[in-house]
Homo-oligomer: A and B are copies of this chain.
Amino acid sequence: MKKYNVAILGATGAVGREMMKVLAERDFPINELRLLASERSVGKELEYRGEKIKVQLACDEAFDGMDIVLGAAQNATAKQFAPAIVKAGAVFVDNSSAFRMCDDVPLVVPEINPEDVKLNKGIISNPNCSTIITLTAINAINKISKIQTIVASTYQAVSGAGVGGPAELEAEVDALSKGEKYEPKVFAHQIAYNVIPKIGSESTEGYTTEEMKLQNESRKILHLPELKANCTCVRVPVVRSHSISCTIVTERAVSVEEAKQAIMNGNGVKLVDDLSAERYPMPLETSDQDIVFVGRIRKDLTNERGLAIWCCGDQVRKGAATNAVQIAQLLTK
């Protein structure tokens, strides 16, 4: 069996560390694992399957000999090193948003469009976390009847803002319990006991960059260029796992029973839908897992071809690290 030389660019961040965990869990056939980061982290040691690996400097030469590079860095870093990665002959599976909308870069959710991986010219993008979770949840319904519109409101965990998010929430809760003041740094406002209806920066017509990703990325992943999606992204004081409340309208009416059956048979999803037993997807119960949980499936009361759906998924795993490793697994097939 072939073994691969794999690098993680941005190995010391929340997503990079999770990628190491997922590679190990999935027994990815690794020959060499190279951990790359900025100057600040060089020399740090991270453990992979009981072995300590020293973090090396991310530079153009660092990708020589690599087969696959998993990107867990910011857009600027991804853009800086993409040419060197491609030149080195590696495939760059990038979690940043830098290349997602580029025509020659596939945007892949392995449960949805695995075949797109083959179209790569050296770069494959990992979609936005909320988009991955929402689309994984509704993919099985889209297979019954094409989705025309999505209206979504998100409940996004603080860890979506990186390792600093949970630290800030904890510090705020602690300060408040002592009657002390805490000046927010990661978020624009106090997130403890609050919700903040803005994620990302300003985009067009009052939407944020994060909100526009649902429409733009979903069109590409689902191969539905006419899809319309409206999204409101909201940060909530949850440590991990994003939740999304959405209504979807399909080409023909899909019944609640049909939708439930499809999700039960779907890939990467689990139906949790029993109000009387108090069973529905919740962030606390979906953290540290790769599955997207789907529930609260109802007829949309405003549209005969509509369904209302609630879903949760761990955005550091399925929304980022796991999805990237799944793409890497497709590359080894």
By beta carbon, the residue of chain B nearest A278 is: B188
Given contacts A173-B177, A206-B298, A308-B232, whether A280 and B197 have CB atoms under 8 Å apart is yes
- CB < 8 Å neighbour of A197 from B188, B206, B296, B303: B296
Q: Kindly provide the distance from the CB of A211 to the nearest chain B CB, expressed in whole angstroms.
A: 9
Measured between beta carbons, the chain B residues less than 8 angstroms from A149 are 302-303
User: How many identical chains are in the complex?
Assistant: 2
Per-position contact with B for A282-295: 1 when CB-CB < 8 Å, else 0? Answer: 11100000000001
By beta carbon, the residue of chain B nearest A244 is: B153
B245 and A280 within 8 A (CB): no
Measured between beta carbons, the chain B residues less than 8 angstroms from A249 are 302
Measured between beta carbons, the chain B residues less than 8 angstroms from A205 are 256, 298-299
The CB with the most chain B CB atoms within 10 A, among A194, A281, A310, is that of A194
Q: Which of A178-224 contact B (CB under 8 A)?
A: 188-190, 193-198, 202, 205-208, 215
Given contacts A155-B155, A174-B177, A298-B206, whether A232 and B310 have CB atoms under 8 Å apart is yes
Given contacts A149-B302, A190-B284, whether A197 and B245 have CB atoms under 8 Å apart is yes
The number of chain A residues with a CB under 8 A from chain B is 58
Measured between beta carbons, the chain B residues less than 8 angstroms from A320 are none
By beta carbon, the residue of chain B nearest A282 is: B194
Measured between beta carbons, the chain B residues less than 8 angstroms from A189 are 278, 282, 284
Q: Which of A222-280 contact B (CB under 8 A)?
A: 228-230, 232, 234, 236-239, 243, 245, 247, 249, 256, 273, 275-276, 278, 280
A190 to B237, CA, bound (A): 13
- CB < 8 Å neighbour of A296 from B174, B194, B206: B206
A104 to B319, CA, bound (A): 52
Given contacts A188-B278, A284-B190, whether A310 and B197 have CB atoms under 8 Å apart is yes
A239 to B284, CA, bound (A): 19
Q: Kindly provide the distance from the CB of A298 to the nearest chain B CB, expressed in whole angstroms.
A: 4
Measured between beta carbons, the chain B residues less than 8 angstroms from A150 are 302
- CB < 8 Å neighbour of A278 from B194, B198, B206, B281: B198
Give 8 A-B contacts (CB < 8 Å), ordered by A residue: A155-B155, A197-B243, A198-B275, A198-B296, A206-B256, A206-B273, A206-B297, A215-B301
**Which A residues are within 8 Å of any B CB, using their own CB?**
149-151, 153, 155, 173-174, 177, 188-190, 193-198, 202, 205-208, 215, 228-230, 232, 234, 236-239, 243, 245, 247, 249, 256, 273, 275-276, 278, 280-284, 295-303, 306, 308, 310
